[in-house]
Structure 1
Amino acid sequence: MIPYGKQEIIQQDVDSVISVLQSDFLTQGPQVPAFEKSLTDHTGAEHAIAVNSATSALHIACLALGLSEGDWLWTTPITFVASANCGLYCGARVDFVDIDPKTYNMCAVALEAKLKLAQQNNCLPKVVVPVHLCGQPCDMKAIRGLAEQYGFAIIEDASHAIGGRYEGDPVGNCKYSDITVFSFHPVKIVTTAEGGAALTNSAELAQKMDLLRSHGVTRDESLMTIESHGGWYYQQVELGYNYRMTELQAALGVSQMTRLDDFVEARHRLAKRYNQLLAELPVTLPYQLPGTYSGLHLYVIRLDLDKITKTHREVFDSLRQNGIGVNLHYIPVHTQPYYQEMGFKLGDYPHAEHYYREAISLPMFHLMTEQQQDEVVRVLRHVLEVE
């Protein structure tokens, strides 16, 4: 089976992890700050807070921005459920903005229309979470302009997008957002096994997220309510969580970050080749928003169902049965039973639902060989009955 995604672990990565195992620190040592520095060095952001998952990063980002009961968080329906759930964790209400049918990201035009209506109904969002699906940046300048007009904070969910660029600058620099979140799950571009990070240019937000990832506990006397009792003393000043990243994960991340540019360049070579090999098939190829450079975590095609005899499911199942590990990113969040119990229903976000009926993620990982790619295309042609 050719997988849709796969990490690369080389001896350098193994040696980095072994060095931690042989050190004095398995957690809360020097590797987590080193990994955070690699992220700020790459992106240009002022601060990075490494945590145990991107879900945790989204949660503490929402909390740091003051999201709470009675507030609204808006995101896109085409994302993993964590992009919406983070609002529910804070007691907020969640709503969605339909996608742009070309980029599959949150549509800035639809966002503006929804904001105008929300302003009339006095229910503007406190936080908006645009998601850089597949690694392609959203139209962040437009979204930031709307944030300034309507007064909401922005969390970029860049779980797919490390190594990407917007207007020539690295995704994660927070030029157009308050906080950016990365994921380091094994199928992502860079992995720490499990892990995530929240980046920001705000010292205040960074300090808040630093507290929230570790029980709300501090040894920093400047944050304490009374003078320290001694070297052993700490205070809990927030209700925080155990969201810390381990030294083992961070060491792997430091090693992986040295190859980030190579990873993304390889994905772009593969995508260019896919574009050429699939050009004559009855599928829609990925669109690239001008002024952006995708991290290319995923390569998603859409089936032209009017030109083939098989259904979406039949194509998907046939590909898997023939050794092609395709996937589908994502099931629209508003169609999940948990969200339908809140009142969401089919028809609410038609572009997202149309996308779901046609989308398939083809294998895309930087170690993929041309022979593997040729096999993916050969099987796809056969399944689509294009010979």
Structure 2
Amino acid sequence: MIPYGRQHIGDSDIAAVVDVLRSDWLTQGPAIPRFEQAVADYCGAASGVAVNSATAALHLACLALDLGPGDVLWTSPITFVASANCARFCGAAVDFVDIDGETLNMSAEALEAKLHRAKHSGRLPKVVVPVHFAGRTCDMASIRELSERYGFKIIEDASHALGAQYKSQPVGACAFSDLTVFSFHPVKMITTGEGGMVLGNQGKFMRRIERLRSHGITRLTNEMDGESHGDWYYQQTELGYNYRMTDMQAALGTSQLRKLDGFLEIRRQLVRRYNELLADLPVRVPIYDDRSAWHLYVIRLETPYRRRAVYDSMRAAGIGVNVHYIPVHLQPYYQELGFEPGDFPIAEAYYAAALTLPLYPDLADSAQIRVVEALRDALS
């Protein structure tokens, strides 16, 4: 089976993890701040906080922005459910903004129209989470301008987009947002096994995220409440979580980060080749963008009603195609909250035709040809 995505683990990655295993630290040691600083430096952000998943990162980012009961978060319906669930973890409501039919990201025009209506109804969002789907960046300048006009905060869900650029700046610099979240799941740009990170430039948000990551506990000083305490002393100042990353994961992440530029170049080469190889087939290929991180390669079938047959045929041929994503508002949990089919028609039309083809740095040329030929056979 050729999977749709796969990690690349080399000898240097294994050696980095073994070094930690032979050290005095396995959990909260020196590898974590090294990894945090390395990612922040790569992206041009002031600081980063590493956690055990991008879902945890989204949750903590929402908490840092004081999202809670009575508030609303808006995001894209074409994303993994975590982009919406993070609001529900905080007791907030969720709504969605339909996508742009070309970029597949949140439509800035649809967002503006929805904000105009929401202002008149008194139901503006407190937080908007644009999702850089498949590694291509949203129209962040327009979204930022709208945030200044309507008063909401922005969390970039860049789980697909480590290494992408927007207006000559790395995603993660937070030039157009308050916070940015990355994922280090095995099929992402780099991996820590499981893991995520929040990047930001505002110390008050980052300090709170760091505290909430570890039970809401602080050890910043042994002089609290006007008294001097021993080095053992700590205080829980709010209800936090055990969302910590381990030193083993962080060491793997730092090693992987050194290879990121090479991974990105291979992904871009594969995308250009896919677009050439698929030019004569009845599918819609993504428009090439050399600023995208190209986490996913998603085509759209010109005959959507045949998607299941094409999917089954390719799976039977050993090609691990996938579908990203079922629109979040169509999930049973969100339908119970009042969402219905037809609410976001562009997202639903995209989903009906979408098929994700294998894309990862170790995808050999011969394997890519095999994917294309299997697709050709399935379509015919």
- Common fold by TM > 0.5: yes
**Number of residue-to-residue matches in the alignment:** 380
Question: 2:18 is paired with a residue of what secondary structure?
Answer: helix
Q: How far apart are residue 280 of structure 1 and its match?
A: 1.2
* Residue in 1 that maps onto 2:334: 339
* Residue in 1 that maps onto 2:282: 282
* Residue in 2 that maps onto 1:91: 91
Choose from 346, 350, 355 the match for 1:355: 350
Question: 1:221 is paired with a residue of what secondary structure?
Answer: coil
* Residue in 2 that maps onto 1:300: 298
Deviations 1:55-98 (A, max 9, x none): 00000000000000000000000000000000000000000000
* Residue in 2 that maps onto 1:264: 264
* Residue in 1 that maps onto 2:178: 178
Q: How far apart are residue 229 of structure 1 and its match?
A: 1.6
Distance 2:240 2:153 in 1: 21
**Are the aligned partners of 1:224 and 1:237 in contact in 2 as well (CA < 8 Å)?**
no
Q: Which shifted more, 123-132 or 221-230?
A: 221-230
**Are the aligned partners of 1:103 and 1:288 in contact in 2 as well (CA < 8 Å)?**
no
- Structure 2: gaps of 5 or more residues: none
Q: How far apart are residue 224 of structure 1 and its match?
A: 4.3
Instruction: State the 4+ residue runs in structure 1 displaced beyond 6 angstroms.
Output: none
Task: Look up the equivalent residue of 2:342 and give its one-letter code.
Answer: G
**Are the aligned partners of 2:54 and 2:181 in contact in 1 as well (CA < 8 Å)?**
yes
- Structure 1: gaps of 5 or more residues: none
* Residue in 1 that maps onto 2:167: 167
Choose from 318, 342, 365 the match for 2:313: 318
**Are the aligned partners of 2:222 and 2:231 in contact in 1 as well (CA < 8 Å)?**
no
Distance 1:37 1:314 in 2: 47
Deviations 1:77-130 (A, max 9, x none): 000000000000000000000000001100000000000000000000000000
**Are the aligned partners of 1:221 and 1:228 in contact in 2 as well (CA < 8 Å)?**
no
Deviations 1:248-280 (A, max 9, x none): 000000000000000000000000000100011
Q: How far apart are residue 312 of structure 1 and its match?
A: 1.0
Are residues 138 and 228 of structure 1, via their aligned partners in 2, closer, same or farther at CA, if it must alter by over 3 Å? farther
**Are the aligned partners of 1:136 and 1:288 in contact in 2 as well (CA < 8 Å)?**
no
Distance 2:309 2:146 in 1: 42
Are residues 222 and 145 of structure 1, via their aligned partners in 2, closer, same or farther at CA, if it must alter by over 3 Å? farther
Question: 1:296 is paired with a residue of what secondary structure?
Answer: coil
Distance 2:254 2:54 in 1: 17
* Residue in 1 that maps onto 2:193: 193
Question: 1:231 is paired with a residue of what secondary structure?
Answer: coil
Distance 2:334 2:172 in 1: 29
Q: How far apart are residue 222 of structure 1 and its match?
A: 8.5
Distance 1:162 1:140 in 2: 16
Distance 2:335 2:45 in 1: 38
Task: Look up the equivalent residue of 2:232 and give its one-letter code.
Answer: W
Distance 1:238 1:275 in 2: 51
Task: Look up the equivalent residue of 2:374 and give its one-letter code.
Answer: V
**Are the aligned partners of 2:135 and 2:164 in contact in 1 as well (CA < 8 Å)?**
yes
Q: How far apart are residue 226 of structure 1 and its match?
A: 4.2
Question: 2:197 is paired with a residue of what secondary structure?
Answer: strand
- Sequence identity, in percent? 59
Confirm whether residue 5 of structure 1 aligns to residue 8 of structure 2.
Answer: no
Q: How far apart are residue 311 of structure 1 and its match?
A: 1.2
Are residues 222 and 92 of structure 1, via their aligned partners in 2, closer, same or farther at CA, if it must alter by over 3 Å? farther
Q: How far apart are residue 288 of structure 1 and its match?
A: 4.8
Deviations 1:23-51 (A, max 9, x none): 00001110000100110110000010000
1:27-106 aligned within 5 A: 27-106=27-106
Deviations 1:317-364 (A, max 9, x none): 111111110011100000000000000000000000001100000000
**Are the aligned partners of 1:45 and 1:201 in contact in 2 as well (CA < 8 Å)?**
yes
Question: 2:227 is paired with a residue of what secondary structure?
Answer: coil
Q: How far apart are residue 228 of structure 1 and its match?
A: 4.0
**Are the aligned partners of 1:53 and 1:194 in contact in 2 as well (CA < 8 Å)?**
yes
**Are the aligned partners of 2:315 and 2:321 in contact in 1 as well (CA < 8 Å)?**
yes
Q: How far apart are residue 287 of structure 1 and its match?
A: 2.5
**Are the aligned partners of 1:221 and 1:227 in contact in 2 as well (CA < 8 Å)?**
no
Distance 1:183 1:218 in 2: 26
Q: How far apart are residue 227 of structure 1 and its match?
A: 3.1
